[in-house]
Chains A and B, each alone.
Chain A
Amino acid sequence: MSTVDILFYLLSAFAIVSATMVLISKNSIHSVLWLILVFFAISGHYILLNAQFLAIVNIIVYAGAIMVLFLFVIMLMNIKKDAEPQKQLLVKLTGVIAGGSLLTLLIAVVKQTIQIQGKQVLLKEGSIGLIHPLGKALFSDYVIPFEISSVLFLSAMVGAVIIGKK
């Protein structure tokens, strides 16, 4: 078992445990903090896959900006802990069973698919995740979607302000 394998298993276990803690935390702020840990684990996976640009963007955009937005909203609302609504136990159990069935079914499908049997993921090598090739592709082939996304941001900003104002 090489170092990369050990890192993969460690990061995976870390991500799954943190994601489970997002669900079972009673306090919303704790959920946000656990979700930030999930994002850090996923960034670690990106680094393991040598997608360095995405790892940094994931930390800056998700763990930095989006999660701070969530924290702001939760602290703004000042929700009392005991007032948080809970679903009935039967509904919760049904949800867990449904999600578990989905997972089991999909894993069974993945195990039997012949197209991906024996395919290997290139870890810690390959240069497509670095800034230089990504920037070249982004500003040559994908420059129009890139510019359109700035319009999307502008419209999202205007929408958020209008919704929040009234």
Chain B
Amino acid sequence: MSIQYYIILCLTLFSIGVVGVLTRRNAIIVFMCIELMLNAVNLLLVAFSKMYHGAALQSAANTTVGIDAQIFVFFIMVVAAAEVSVGLAIIVMMYRNTHSVDINFLNRLKN
């Protein structure tokens, strides 16, 4: 499978996430679209890791080239889990104060 198919798939998923962030006003949906973008990038990292691994396998039999990208993906998932817990806490706090999850409320952060 050519790497270009993977890049186009990930770009499509990323763009869908961008469109979601731009068009929706529900803060939770916007947050979910950010998660979607993160996942598209993760998939692309894994695809590139397998691309370099496949190229390196032809010269050495038991090489571990490309394992760094998979560890990066693992750490991105770790950071995303931490980020989601804090972000959802902020959304819950915002809902308690305003009784809505409208993101336009946040355009005046002062007061």
Enumerate chain A interface residues (CB-CB to B < 8 A). Answer: 4-5, 8, 12, 15-16, 19-20, 22-23, 28, 31-32, 35, 38-39, 42, 45-46, 49-51, 53-54, 57-58, 61-62, 65-66, 69-70, 73-74, 76-77, 79, 83-87, 91-92, 94-96, 98-100, 102-103, 106-107, 110-111, 116, 118-123, 125-129, 133-134, 137-138, 142, 145, 149, 152-153, 155-157, 159-161, 163-164, 166
Majority SS of interface residues in chain B? helix
Number of interface residues of B (CB under 8 A): 74
Quick check: A54 and B93 within 8 Å, CB to CB? no
Closest residue on chain A to residue B83 by CB atoms: A156
Quick check: A126 and B1 within 8 Å, CB to CB? no
What are the residues of chain B within 8 A of A53 when measuring CB–CB?
70, 74
Quick check: B23 and A121 within 8 Å, CB to CB? no
Quick check: B29 and A28 within 8 Å, CB to CB? yes
Least Cβ–Cβ distance between B100 and chain A, in angstroms: 7
Least Cβ–Cβ distance between B9 and chain A, in angstroms: 5
- 7 examples of A-B residue contacts, CB within 8 angstroms: A12-B9, A100-B19, A116-B4, A137-B68, A138-B74, A153-B78, A161-B89
How far apart are the CA atoms of A2 and B101 in the complex, in Å? 47
Quick check: B2 and A28 within 8 Å, CB to CB? no
How far apart are the CA atoms of A54 and B28 in the complex, in Å? 25
